[in-house]
């Protein structure tokens, strides 16, 4: 009986760890594709990953841009191919 309980606990733990890795991998993939869109100056792909109410946080802690404001500011840079 103890072996069955231990086995079930290990299975649940393994499943939870696998789910966490999967979520981390998904987050990593989104971030990688977002950075690639910036590197390629792909405006639509870059902003397509942000929600309408998204906030871009810059390198300075005080640099916070609302999505629409950041789109307007950054559009000329994307258009020149230098996002």
**Could you tell me which residue, 41 or 18, shows the higher pLDDT?**
41
Q: What is the mean pLDDT of residues 7-16?
A: 64
Give, for 72, the enclosing helix (H) or strand (E). helix 67-79
Distance between CA 66 and CA 19 in Å, rounded? 32
Burial code (b: 16+ CB inside 10 Å, e: under 16) for 43-63 equals beebbeeeeeeeebeeeeeee
Tell me the pLDDT tens digit for each residue of 32-83. Answer: 999 999 999 999 999 999 999 999 999 888 999 999 999 999 999 999 998 8
**Which residue segment(s) compose the domain that 31 sits in?**
2-79
pLDDT at 18 over 70: no
Number of domains in the chain: 1
By the 8 A CB rule, do 37 and 46 touch?
yes
């Amino acid at each position: 009986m103890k072996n069955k309980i231990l086995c079930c606990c290990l299975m649940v733990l393994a499943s939870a760890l696998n789910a966490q890795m999967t979520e981390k991998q998904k987050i990593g993939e989104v971030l990688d594709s977002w950075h690639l869109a910036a590197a390629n100056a792909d405006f639509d792909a870059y902003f397509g990953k942000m929600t309408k109410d998204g906030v871009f946080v810059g390198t300075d802690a005080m640099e916070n841009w609302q999505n629409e404001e950041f789109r307007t500011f950054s559009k000329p840079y994307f258009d020149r191919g230098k996002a």
